Structure 1
Amino acid sequence: MAVLLAGLVPALVTPWTTAPAHASFGISQHKGWDACGIGSTANAQAFWSNTPFWNMGLYIGGSQYGKGCTRWTPADVATLRGQGWKFLPLWVGPQAPCTSFASRFSADPATAYAQGRDEARAAYQVIVSYGWDTRDAPIIYDLEAFNTADAGCLAATQQFISGWVYQMHVPTAQKAGVYGSACASGLNTFASLANVPDFIDAADWSGNPSTGTIRCIPSGNWSGSRRHKQYAGDHTETWNGVTLNIDSDCSNGPVYPAPDELGNEQGCL
């Protein structure tokens, strides 16, 4: 996803209160990566052993998740967790109606809101199948770039995300995240929704890992350990003899599972 610059209206977001002490999330301040085609748990192990990585973008499904991308079984996910990974769980569902993706949500805001709720229910069922502690577990909606200057498309997208967040907050509530281009997925406009995402995962391919500096997102929005940043896009890296095409991430935000690993922030703050 190329990062495009577009001015968006700033708004303030209130930070969380102190996180509850249970297994469903921790706050990571470490580096990580995500990739569509990891291929195997053995390849993931190669990117764990004696590497700088702590976190892994775990794609858990959705209608727009690429056909050539790795599909993880519950047994695979248990193996990855046993390796030590902290997960950024990503759900790749329908995209904005003004895009060319095969799977798109409705241009009608009310319908899009209901569809956002449906996607949250579907993602929830997947983490249940993994046997996870679902209370406050973070799940990230992958929203690719779209024409944010199209007012109708933006309005539908905002309602879709509002529906996603609303349903994620139905008890037992999860933490609702959104991934997208920092400037071209309308992320900052979601700060003023009726149902504001708990955290963001912003693609800003500046090469700067600091989550405190994200283009098009004011520093006051999603402050207080509520940010992940994809700071470098598609590139290959080789670790322990395994080469993968990855995106590079840095975190100051929720990952699954707890405990957190604060104290070695790797330039992410």
Structure 2
Amino acid sequence: MRAWRSSSPYGAVGVYIGGNARSCAQPRLTRSWVRSVSAMGWKLIPIYVGSQSPCVTAARKRQYAIDPADARIEGTQQAEDAVRAATALGMAAESPVYLDVEAYDTDSASCTDPVLDFTAAWSDTLRDRGYLSGFYSSADSGIEQIEGSRAAGSQDVPDVMWFAHWNVAPTIYGEPALPAGYWRPHRRIHQYTGNTSQTYGGYTLNVDQDLIDAPVAIVP
């Protein structure tokens, strides 16, 4: 982190703070690590990989499907878990936590309704606990669905939208799935490439690249 901070063009990094669908353990992600990298000047983006759509594209994520009958209960419980994780890491109230919802089939309500119900409860609970609700997904699945919910009048939508739309120019307000008049100012992140190997300061990492104009963790 020190080598990349001094030699790369990057200033922020995503950290996976929890969730039942998180791909691997994070034993080095501790309160002291958060303080240390924050002192270097890094901004941190807390990510929570919770339950997924019953129609998630990635086969390895299907075991973590949202139960449609309990979607709101799961959303509430996992938001509370996310707040506990953020608090334990020293990320203060008013920090965002971004729910990672991987790409999924949107052809039927049985695929989309559980995500909308889960995310509504997630957002309400995070706000009740003093945190911001963030939401990450592909532009043509989760992002499109949340925007449709907002357009239909829902008030239970996330505060910040992080959309994955790869292999296009980085943009904050040019994403077709999101009308330019909403989620602004400073309420958007665009992930525009993925799985890119880059070397700085003698260290090679495989990264996803993002353009960020959004809240990050508050580390007192």
Q: TM-score, normalized by length of structure 2?
A: 0.89
Is 1:195 the counterpart of 2:156? The answer is yes
Identify the match of residue 126 of structure 2 among 168, 183, 202. Answer: 168
SS at match of 2:141: coil
The residue aligned with 2:213 is: 252
Q: Distance in 2 between matches of 1:180 and 1:193?
A: 19
> 1:97-153: per-residue Cα shift (whole Å, max 9, x none)?
123422121123xx101111111100100111122322x111100000111112122
CA contact (8 A) 1:180 1:187 kept: no
User: Residues 47 and 187 (structure 1 numbering): CA distance in 2 closer, same or farther, change over 3 Å?
Assistant: farther
**C-alpha distance in 1, partners of 2:95/2:114?**
26
1:48 is displaced (CA, Å) by: 0.9
Q: Aligned residue for 1:242?
A: 203
Q: TM-score, normalised by structure 1?
A: 0.74
Question: After superposition, where does 1:203-218 map in structure 2 within 5 Å?
Answer: 203-218=164-179
**CA–CA distance in 2 between the matches of 1:231 and 1:69?**
25
1:151 aligns with 2:105: no
The AA in structure 2 aligned to 1:128 is T
Distance in 2 between residues matched to 1:84 and 1:150, nearest whole Å = 44
| Distance in 2 between residues matched to 1:252 and 1:126, nearest whole Å | 24
Match of 2:17, SS state, is strand
Give RMSD over aligned pairs. Answer: 1.9
Q: Which runs of 4+ in 1 moved over 3 A?
A: 68-71
Distance 1:228 1:219, change over 3 A: same
How far apart in 2 are the matches of 1:48 and 1:107?
43
- Counterpart check, 1:82 vs 2:35: no
Determine the C-alpha separation between the residues in 2 that align with 1:207 and 1:49. Answer: 27
Aligned to 1:36: none
- Number of aligned residue pairs: 212
Measure, in 2, the Cα distance between the counterparts of 1:87 and 1:94.
22
What's the secondary structure of 1:119's corresponding residue?
helix
Q: Which runs of 5+ in 1 are unaligned?
A: 1-43, 260-269
> 1:125 maps to what in 2?
84
8 A Cα contact 1:165 1:176, kept in partner: yes
CA shift at 1:223, angstroms? 2.4
**Structure 2: where are the runs of 5+ without partners?**
none
Instruction: Report deviation, 1:90.
Output: 0.4
Contact 1:181 1:187 in 2 (8 A): no
In structure 2, the CA distance between the partners of 1:165 and 1:138, relative to structure 1 (3 Å rule), is same
CA distance in 1, matches of 2:74, 2:48: 14
